[in-house]
Copies of this chain bind each other. A is one copy, B any other.
Amino acid sequence: MSNPRSLDPFFAPESVAVVGASTRASSVGYAVFRNLLFGGKHSDDRDRGFHGEVWGVNPKGGELLGEPLYASLTALPAAPDLVVVAIPPQFIPGTLTEAAGLGTRAMIVISAGFAELGAEGKALQDALARQAAELGVRLIGPNCLGVIRPSLQLNASFAAASPAPGRIGLLSQSGALVTGLISCCERERFGLSAAVSLGAKADVEDEDVLRWLADDDETGCLAIYMEALTDPAGFISAALAISPSKPIVAIKGGTTAAGAQAASSHTGSLAGSVAAYRAAFAQTGVLEATTVGEFLAWARALAYQPPAPGERVAILTNAGGPGVLAADAATRRGLTLAELAPATRERLDAVLPSVWSHGNPVDVIGDADSERYGRALEILFEAPEVDAIVLIMTEQAMTDPLETAAAIAEVHERLGGTKPLVASFIGLDGTPVGAYLDERGVPEISLPELAVAAIDGSVRRGRWLRRTPAPPPSLDLPAPNLGAARAHLDAARAAGQTNLDLALAREVLAACGLPYNYSGTATDANEAAKVAAEMGFPVVVKLISPDVVHKSDVGGVVLDVIDADGVRAACAKIRQRVAEHDPEARITGFTIEEQIKGTEVIVGMSRDPSFGPLLMVGMGGIFVEVYKDVAFRLLPLTRRDALDVIDEVRAQALFDGARNQPVLNRDELAEVLLRVSALVEAYPEIRELDVNPLVITRRGLVAIDARVVIGEGEPAHA
């Protein structure tokens, strides 16, 4: 983790030099120089450009856009705080040395021609990074769009325009998305505190920018687009540090197979699994948006409005249909519509026409003027049963949206700040109405479902901020004995096992205190029949083989065995099936287990190539494949994480004992997850681990099967 202050010259320079300022109008160097002078391509006004010094450097000298061009950095009137480079790669190391010699501490390399071209380019890039580190110069890029700091009118990029100053700090792995979102800012009239595209990240990483934005008073919300993190651990520690004080909204590109393929072709880097990203976001309080519309809506709500103090949303509307659609959208997002208290209804009765909806949505009727809107909004701001407000208006011939906007802004100025307010003047974003509200801190979002999405962002943020450490459990699970588990694992390694046989896998997990069904082993059919008779029927007979990972696939499992003859028949059947499926596989014996029925849970651990150990919990059996009702967290796990991930499983009704099934003790399942987490932390040689199924019974959770795969040790990511 570097000192965030070392990034100051990128965002608050007093002088900027463009090396490669070119008179060719289609060149990047020309575009950057012009942006610095005028703010954007559509501006000819020097007052809209950067107010500090802007110097162009071009060995040919001459003039550009009325400014002199200097032959080199050393020819400048003074040392520039920031150097922006748009020249062929081979000339950049010399420029870097020259800049460092002058005392410059920050450089943006716009030029492409590095890692994206393959091994040779990667070597060039690594050399540049080393050189910058040695010279004490921070470097953004190469192959990037640049940096924009709207409050200083600093557009050190080749974006077409600079957004208005605002409170959203945008960091994007895609420069093109920055340019697109700047266009959205212009149209929707909201602003950014900063926009950064890091390109190939030779030096400055996401983490650096996140920490800088976290300290930046202008930034109210961090908004990130990412495809693949190059330093997941750095991102996680930064996000954990920032989330309690500032909201972070993320959109991840490549969350589907087709998208991931496109991203891989785009960035050339291998992303971790989508599940690992989701887990990282969930554990660090990062709100993950699915669409660009949701991303912008969340960023706007969180940058300008407070988090919701609770879950209850009120919809204020002059339009019945859009109110209904907003209620639908809210419900689909899992939001709760506030139930209006009698006192609130009475207050509304006093200011609304008698035909108002008398409920939530609060329909103030199509002809509502600004005064009626203002009074109703005031009442909802003051209603303790309302935690968040979506305000909808459609224009009619008899009403004036701008007057209504003014009334809303007045009430918001007076009563806002304790609960979030988002407005949807349908179809009127990009008009003076939308601008009026946005300039006064009330996001105005045209589509009602996106206004509801914005409020959902505030509600999620509030929920995360209210998250408290989980209380300790009251449980009577046997204490874990990690030492014993380690001894079993060492024994397996010594015996050359990588896929532990079932008996050993059970012993490892039983040593961790996981509750197992009654079980015994036997080397032949007669012994198996004896073991089963002692245990009681029905039983399950399973193959023991060091050579078979998925016993079911070779027919190595026989269920519903009801007597001793059945056990002998099952052993014979298993021998026969294994001989058919995998004649090489050794059969070292049979496991005989108490047959347990009930709702099946799966707990698993795999290793993500980027994020390290990844824990999974969900519904087991055939349904894990069909409905994919599983949720993930990165290790290590807190007890809060463990309880949260259990809550993410969709089939909560099954946990709650639907149809007279036993009820899950969530504390017990959380404890299982924590013990698996502790085991994997203690024994990094575990590559994969499954407890499947883990059955919910009246005597608690009972594990039936286990799979443990060990390999070379690998330290878990922090």
Count of interface residues, chain A, beta-carbon cutoff 8 Å: 107
Can you sample 5 A-B contacts with CB below 8 Å?
A257-B331, A262-B361, A266-B363, A293-B449, A626-B658
Interface status of A328 (Cβ within 8 A of chain B): yes
A503-534 near B? 1/0 per residue, CB < 8 Å:
00000000000000000000000000000000
Q: Please indicate the chain B residues that have their CB under 8 angstroms from the CB of A123 in the complex.
A: none
Query: Is A80 located at the chain interface by the 8 A CB criterion?
Result: no
Q: Which residues on the B side are within 8 Å of A318 (C-beta)? A: 176
C-alpha spacing A622/B258, complex, angstroms? 34
B173 touches A321 (CB 8 A): yes
Given A176-B322, A177-B321, decide whether A398 and B31 contact each other with a Cβ distance below 8 A: yes
A623 to B329: give the CA distance in the assembly, Å.
26
Interface residue? A678 (CB, 8 A): no
CB-CB under 8 A for A397 and B159, given A328-B256, A448-B292: yes
Known A26-B398, A181-B427; 12 more pairs at CB < 8 Å? A26-B367, A28-B397, A181-B426, A253-B324, A256-B327, A259-B325, A261-B327, A262-B360, A265-B359, A266-B363, A293-B293, A552-B659
Chain B residues lying within 8 Å of A448, measured Cβ to Cβ, are 292
A597 to chain B, nearest CB (A): 9
A175, A258, A318: most-surrounded residue (chain B CB, <10 A): A258
Residues 137-182 of A contacting B (Cβ, < 8 Å): 158-161, 172-177, 179-182
The answer on a CB contact under 8 Å between A330 and B654 is: no
Closest to A623 in B: B623
Q: A346 → chain B, closest Cβ, in Å? A: 18
Give A249 Cβ to nearest chain B Cβ, in Å: 14
Residues of the B chain whose Cβ atoms lie less than 8 Å from the Cβ of A428: 183, 187
Closest to A331 in B: B256
Complex Cα distance, B560 from A552, in Å, reads 22
Query: In the complex, which residue of chain B has the Cβ closest to the Cβ of A225?
Result: B321
Given the contacts A176-B394, A358-B265, A427 and B186 also touching, CB distance less than 8 Å: yes
Q: Tell me the minimal C-beta distance from A37 to chain B in angstroms.
A: 12
Does A450 sit at the interface, judged by CB under 8 A?
yes
The minimal Cβ–Cβ distance linking A116 to chain B, given in whole angstroms, is: 8
Looking across the interface, which residue of chain B has its beta carbon closest to that of A661? B622
- Are B187 and A396 interface neighbours, CB within 8 A? no
